[in-house]
C-alpha cells in the first residue's frame, strides 16, 4: 500500500514536470506535498528520493528538495544520449515494423494534433515526448521504453529552461514525416528524419535564457492527487 502511494506521488510530480507545471528550481516542501496528497511526510520523502534517482529532483542537505536545474553541459549530454539511442531504435523499428504498429503511431499523432488544436499546452507537451516512448513500447522493449521515459522527463526540464520559442507544431510535423518513412519501410530515410528531429529540438535551445521560477502550490493545483 505504501509503495503504491509513493509511486502515485512520484508519478504526479513527474507529470507536473513533464507538462511544464513544475519549473526548474522549485522548492518541493515535504509538508506542502504531504498536505496536498493527504499522506505522511515519510511517503513524500520516499517519492522525492525516487525522483532524485533519475535526476528530476535534487536533494540538498539542510535545504530540502528542489526540481532539478540541468546545466548546459548536462542538457547537451542528454541530447547526445537520445540521439544515439533513438537513431538505433528507429533503425530496429523499421526492420520489424507492422501495420498495427503504424496504426498505433498514427493514432498517437492524431492525439498530438487534437491537443494542439485545443491549445492544451500540458497535454501537448506530454504527447510530443511520449511519441518516442510509444515507439519503444510498440517494439516490446520495456527497458528501452523506461530509459527513454527517464531521458524525456529530463528533456522536459531542459526545454522549459532553454527553449526560446514553442516548437510544438514543428515537432508534430516531424513526427508525421517519421511515421510516413516507417510505413514505407524506408530505413535510411526514417533514421535521417529522427536524427534531424532531435537535432532541431536541441538547436532550438537558447542556453543564455533566464531561468523561470514557479510556486509549488500553484503548480500542483492542476495535478490530481
Q: What is the residue-level pLDDT of the chain in tens, covering all 225 positions?
A: 567 889 899 989 988 887 778 888 899 999 999 999 999 999 999 999 999 987 889 999 989 999 998 888 988 999 999 999 999 999 999 999 999 999 999 999 999 999 888 887 778 878 988 999 999 999 999 999 999 998 988 887 887 777 654 566 888 999 999 999 999 999 999 999 999 999 998 888 877 755 555 556 555 665 554
Cell numbers representing residue 224 in the block: 490530481
Domain identity same for 13 and 106 = no
Identify the H or E element spanning 139.
none
6: Cα separation from own chain's centroid: 20
Domain identity same for 59 and 87 = no
Cell numbers representing residue 145 in the block: 521504453
Domain identity same for 109 and 184 = yes
Cell numbers representing residue 169 in the block: 507544431
Domain identity same for 17 and 82 = no
151: domain range? 72-203
Nearest Cα neighbor of 170 from 193, 187, 148 is: 193
Tell which of 45, 69, 93 closes a domain. 69
Domain identity same for 88 and 184 = yes
Domain identity same for 88 and 170 = yes
Domain identity same for 109 and 52 = no
Residue 15 lies in a domain: yes
Count how many domains the chain has. Answer: 2
Residue 163 contacts by C-beta under 8 Å, 6 or more apart in sequence?
204, 205, 206, 209
Domain identity same for 76 and 46 = no
Domain identity same for 80 and 55 = no
Identify the residue whose cell numbers are 526514417: 190
Domain identity same for 124 and 174 = yes
Domain identity same for 94 and 179 = yes
Domain identity same for 8 and 115 = no
DSSP 205: B
Amino acid at each position: 500500500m505504501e509503495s503504491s502511494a509513493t509511486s502515485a506521488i512520484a508519478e504526479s510530480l513527474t507529470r507536473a514536470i513533464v507538462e511544464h507545471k513544475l519549473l526548474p528550481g522549485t522548492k518541493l516542501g515535504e509538508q506542502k506535498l504531504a498536505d496536498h496528497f493527504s499522506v505522511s511526510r515519510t511517503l513524500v520523502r520516499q517519492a522525492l528520493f525516487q525522483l532524485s534517482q533519475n535526476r528530476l529532483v535534487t536533494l540538498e542537505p539542510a535545504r530540502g528538495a528542489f526540481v532539478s536545474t540541468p546545466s548546459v553541459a548536462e542538457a547537451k549530454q542528454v541530447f547526445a544520449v537520445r540521439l544515439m539511442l533513438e537513431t538505433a531504435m528507429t533503425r530496429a523499428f523499421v526492420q520489424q515494423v507492422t501495420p498495427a504498429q503504424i496504426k498505433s503511431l498514427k493514432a498517437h499523432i492524431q492525439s498530438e494534433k487534437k491537443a494542439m488544436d485545443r491549445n492544451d499546452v500540458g497535454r501537448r507537451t506530454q504527447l510530443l515526448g511520449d511519441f518516442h516512448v510509444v515507439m519503444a513500447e510498440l517494439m516490446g522493449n520495456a527497458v528501452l521504453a523506461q530509459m527513454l521515459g527517464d531521458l524525456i522527463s529530463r528533456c522536459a526540464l531542459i526545454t522549459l529552461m532553454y527553449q526560446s520559442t514553442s516548437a510544438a507544431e514543428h515537432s508534430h510535423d516531424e513526427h508525421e514525416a517519421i511515421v510516413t518513412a516507417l510505413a514505407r519501410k524506408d530505413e535510411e530515410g526514417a533514421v535521417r528524419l529522427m536524427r534531424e528531429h532531435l537535432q532541431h529540438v536541441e538547436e532550438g535551445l537558447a542556453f543564455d535564457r533566464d531561468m523561470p521560477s514557479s510556486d509549488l502550490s500553484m503548480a500542483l493545483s492542476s495535478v490530481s492527487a
